[in-house]
Amino acid sequence: MTITAAADGSALGNPGPNGWAWYIDDARWAAGGSAHGTNNQGELRAVLELLRATAGADEALVIECDSRYVIDSVTKWMPGWKRRGWRKSDGGAVLNRDLLEGIDEAMRGRDVTFTWVKGHAGHPLNEAADERANAAARAYQKGEEPRTGPGFAGAEPEAPAPQPVAPLPPAPQFSAPLWAETTDLFSGFDEPEASAPAQLTVSLTAAEHARLRDRADAQGISLEEALRRLI
């Protein structure tokens, strides 16, 4: 698998309000900038931020750039600059050394290829990166925060919608008194003689037992008390 991304920079006034952006697809891109910088700084920053964002990926990385300066700096001139202590062939200091050193470090041990594309020529990834870099520069020009994008991980997945919870069934309501159905429970029993101690055995079906317990609970009394009241 290969990741193909575009990296681009923008500076209004060069130097001036500065923007950078890298773009893989609509779910994976990033942008930023500063209040003052050059176009080359924006181009290099875009490459550096892309390398940092994809540091944990195992795939090969192809970077599309419309800047010959960036591509030649990284692929042609950097080895000589490093040998000379970051000095050009004429002895002058290499510009943007901090960004170039960051790119050099971020590329170590990785499969990275640079491809030149012509800017503003309809290359989809380059156009998307250019649009976002320019928007970031204009945001800094206005003193606003730019859109920074979702980054390499992409937008976080939406949390699943909460599942509706079925309401609890209403508690049973009893308008009749507890002893209203005594005839259902004790039909067929003869009244004992008043002089003899009364001992009564009642056999209840499961439905009758549940009904009696519900009514006892509704009155806030024990099942035993419920039976005593019925008697």
| Active centre residues (catalytic) | 8-9, 43, 66, 120, 130
DSSP states along 131-153: HHHHHHHHHHHTT-PPP---BSS
DSSP assigned state of 224: H
Q: Take residue 218 and report the two structure tokens written for it.
A: 């509704």
Q: Take residue 152 and report the two structure tokens written for it.
A: 């390499």
Three-point CA angle 204, 209, 213, nearest 5°: 150
Which residues are bridge partners to 11 per DSSP?
A: 18
Residues 133/10, Cβ–Cβ less than 8 Å: yes
Residues 18/38, Cβ–Cβ less than 8 Å: yes
